[in-house]
Amino acid sequence: MTSEFGSLGDGIGSSRNTSSVRSSTDKLYPSLFPSDEEVESDNASEISLDSEARATPPLVRLKNPLFPKKEYVDKLRPEEIRWFYKQDGDKEWSPFIGYDSLRIECRFRALQTVEDENEIDNDVILVLGGLYQVDVSKKKCTPVYWSGDESDITQGLWFYEYNGQPLEDKYGLQIETEHVAKFMGHKLDEEQPSLMKGPKPVKHTMRFTDFYIEWNSPSEIYLYSEAASSRFVRGFKKKLGMQKAGTKLLRGFKYEAVMDDKPSDISHLVFVIHGIGQKMETGNIVKRSKELREKVSQMKTKHFSLIETSSQRAEFLPVEWRSNLKLDGDMVDLITPHKMRGMRSILNDSAMDILYYTSPLYRSEITHSLQTELNRLFEMFCTRNPYFQVNGGKVSIVAHSLGAVISYDIITGWNPIQLYDEFVNTVIEEEQQDSDSSEIKKEIHEAKEKATAVESILKDVQEKHRKKCGPTLSFTIENMFCLGSPLAVFLALRGFRPQGKGTLDHIMPPSLCKRLFNIYHPYDPVAYRLEPLILKHYATIMPLPIHRFDSKQKEAYNEMKTKAYAAFKPSASVDKITDKVKWLKGKESDDMSAELKMLEKMEKDVQEIEKHIKERKDVLQEIDHTDLEYRLDYQLREASFSSSYISMLTSHTSYWTDRDVAFFILSHIHPELQEL
């Protein structure tokens, strides 16, 4: 690193001052350093930070820390230059953080000094927290772990004072060359024209097709548009004796780039896995992962600002398993009726994924796709971040909808052939019991022995394959967060039943995944509870409510008391019916006999229900001492004034931008945050 940055300031001075305090708006990497404007606009309804936290920036930097202030014009140092990036459709350029900008500038300068690019180390420069890479010669920034999402980059030399945006580099470089040639060695504060009365003297002019530049002094430079409307306004002002007004330009970025302006090393890698519907919009999981990353970042910046500079950092990588699958080709589209074609196409591209996964023909193709992509991304990540495994980096999974089911099957190695074996054995036993013929029983017995032999061979093959290929994933799972997941209903249909113990050994052994979280919205039609699959009586116990992100008092989840749903109490109804029966008997007549018989029947029915509930309560009291090893089900709070029908339609896709979810995930991948 010394050789790469050792010549950044060799004998070169500064041409302008820098800010004395570093603002968070310098930080580009959005998952770590959102700007104040972004935080305020996104959290307009949130409570404000206390004054102490707001006044403590993550990184304080002195003005011009590396070099003393110079009085004369000199060449710009790399620290004064800032590189920017912009995607198609963006209106403004966004600055790279100092660490990224310095490395890009050094590579750019090296390319200017050689004729053959092969003479220079052509390794890509990882930027934006390691999620993107820059090709300086092509001036392109592309994502490392997914496709698309390409950006242009530009070198910022000269900037508009009013918004801090850089001039196009082709103009900025020409202006910089002219400025150095004309004013090199001049005093920066000579003849301050702003303090002089009358028209400002023009020391130098440089013309372009659509605008021209005027130097009133080495430190006062203005851009004037050549558009007809601008010329008319200037002519009108001149007749009135008013000075012409241009756009003031600044040389060098407002904040110096420093190598300390960089994110911490990644200590926790989080794979974000999509569910159904990815075929409808390829790359959708990239957007959803970005939304989750930004929400988690905002929660960390706003609520845990004191550890912003700690060595703990989580990164979220999108995992796309659906887009490249062929499955049945276009057969389903061919058999789709033409009526309501648009709606049917939407269903084919979304809900059909569930049918594909339950099909014995395509299930293995889907699991193999996700498994391969997870291992590929992890290997790629570790290659670019060799410190991760050495430092004990952890890996978690955030899986949405069907993605949670597929992830579960990969982690546990569940195979539908197990169900087939159970089904065959059940059929054989039933046939053996129903048969009266000794000959048929003998044949059934032989079939059972053959089935057992086949089952044994299959298990041996699976065991050898597992030993040969190793674990299905090349990493261990710390946490698995299921969002709006139907995993519980899949397990129930596979025959999973409560074991009477509070451990998760029969569902998710801790050796495969340390913690399992089932997060869902109360109106999500796809989500199901997991806890009753562990202990049956938890069907009567409410899931734990997820804290509001802005709640001042947050009770630790492991200390929250279990609360039961309100039980049905029929005793009052029984009393009312009994009183009515007694009154009718006292005034019995032919007209009242029919009503009396009906009420007597209702009385018996309600008493029967009450007896059943009492028996159920007695059973629950006997097993109530058994608790879960840890809670699994976490329910989001219902929004005030929201329609249940609207919530049912929107809740399944609302997790990515939900700040309560972001806060929950952040506080569990970094458990130490819960103690702050």
541 beta partners: 564
Residues 6+ apart with CB under 8 A from 277: 284, 349, 350, 353
pLDDT at 159: 97
What stretch of H or E contains 155? strand 151-156
Q: How far is residue 276's CA from residue 402's CA, in Å, rounded to a whole number?
A: 6
Nearest CA-CA partner of 165 in 233, 231, 261, 94: 94
**pLDDT tens per residue, range 607-643:** 666 666 665 555 444 444 568 999 999 999 987 656 6
Token digits of residue 407: 């992830």
DSSP code at position 621: H
Nearest CA-CA partner of 632 in 510, 523, 526: 510
Phi, psi at 238, each rounded to 5°: -65, -40
Q: In what order do the strands lie in the sheet with 314-319?
A: 314-319, 268-273, 394-400, 477-483, 513-520, 633-635, 544-545
Q: Active site residue: 101, 369, 401, 667, which one?
A: 401
Q: How far is residue 309's CA from residue 32's CA, in Å, rounded to a whole number?
A: 10
pLDDT at 124: 83
Token digits of residue 118: 């092969």
Largest interatomic CA distance in the chain: 121
pTM of the model: 0.77
By the 10 Å C-beta count (0-12 exposed, 13-18 middle, 19+ buried), 117 is classed as exposed
Nearest CA-CA partner of 487 in 326, 292, 327, 275: 275
Phi, psi at 631, each rounded to 5°: -75, 145
Helix ranges (H only) for 113-263 are: 169-183, 228-239
250 beta partners: 159
Nearest CA-CA partner of 401 in 319, 481, 486, 479: 486
Q: How far is residue 292's CA from residue 290's CA, in Å, rounded to a whole number?
A: 5
Q: How far is residue 73's CA from residue 16's CA, in Å, rounded to a whole number?
A: 9
316 beta partners: 270
Q: How far is residue 106's CA from residue 155's CA, in Å, rounded to a whole number?
A: 12
Token digits of residue 375: 């291992």
- Please give the angle made by the CA atoms of 509, 515 and 517, to the nearest 5 degrees: 115
Handedness of CA 26, 27, 33, 39 (dihedral sign): positive
Q: How far is residue 400's CA from residue 377's CA, in Å, rounded to a whole number?
A: 18
Quickly tell me which residue has 């050094």 as its tokens: 106
Helix ranges (H only) for 29-143 are: 36-42, 51-54, 98-112
pLDDT at 638: 84
Token digits of residue 653: 């896709």
Token digits of residue 542: 């409410």
Quickly tell me which residue has 């009770």 as its tokens: 555
- Evaluate whether 546 touches 662 at the Cβ level (below 8 Å): no
- Please give the angle made by the CA atoms of 446, 448 and 449, to the nearest 5 degrees: 65
- Evaluate whether 18 touches 68 at the Cβ level (below 8 Å): no
Helices (H) and strands (E) in the chain, counts: 20, 18
- Evaluate whether 507 touches 533 at the Cβ level (below 8 Å): yes
Residues of the chain with pLDDT under 70: 1-68, 117, 119-122, 190-198, 228-244, 279-282, 305-310, 346, 348-350, 418-437, 440-441, 444-445, 448, 451-452, 454-470, 567-603, 605-626, 640-643, 673-676
Q: How far is residue 407's CA from residue 405's CA, in Å, rounded to a whole number?
A: 5
What's the one-letter identity of residue 15? Answer: S
Q: In what order do the strands lie in the sheet with 82-87?
A: 94-95, 82-87, 151-156, 140-143, 132-135, 125-127
pLDDT at 343: 73
Q: Is residue 20 flagged as an active site residue? A: no
- Evaluate whether 62 touches 42 at the Cβ level (below 8 Å): no
DSSP code at position 514: E
For residue 553, give Cα distances in angstroms to 47, 200, 619: 13, 61, 36
